[in-house]
Amino acid sequence: MKSQSFEQLIVWQKAHSYVLAIYKITKQYPKEELFCLVNQIRRAAASITANIAEGYAKISSKDKLRFYNISQGSLEETRNFIILSKDLGYITLQDKEQLGIQAAEISRLLNAYCIALLKNVSPATT
């Protein structure tokens, strides 16, 4: 069954949980990082779900793929900032690993959506 809203997409739901986790964990960063690393990582994370939502609304597969690809890029940018955060001592190894697990799942789902679009098959709500 085709979804009625981007909010019904499993990939968006997982990515939304990831964004919330990013916001929660960055609350503990040093104040001097508020307008630097915290701002960058939050913007990158929020871009993941924003581009999924925007891609969902596009009619052509080519446009959908473009936005899902941008979302994948934002996910990788966020992963980079998580590695940096761990290396700077702002988060624990356990936090880094948990966020990495979430990111890997989102990446797999985004790839599945893209493959389905390339095959001209509707990914529905998977």
> Which tens digit of pLDDT belongs to each residue from 66-116?
999 999 999 999 999 999 999 999 999 999 999 999 999 999 999 999 999
pLDDT confidence bin for 3, thresholds 50/70/90:
confident
The per-residue pLDDT for 125 is 46
> Which tens digit of pLDDT belongs to each residue from 15-44?
999 999 999 999 999 999 999 999 999 999
Residue 50 CA to residue 33 CA, distance in Å, equals 24
- What would the mean pLDDT of 54-66 be, rounded to a whole number? 94
Q: Is 11 exposed, middle or buried (0-12, 13-18, 19+ CB in 10 A)?
A: buried
Distances (CA, A) of 71 to 78, 89, 109: 11, 27, 11
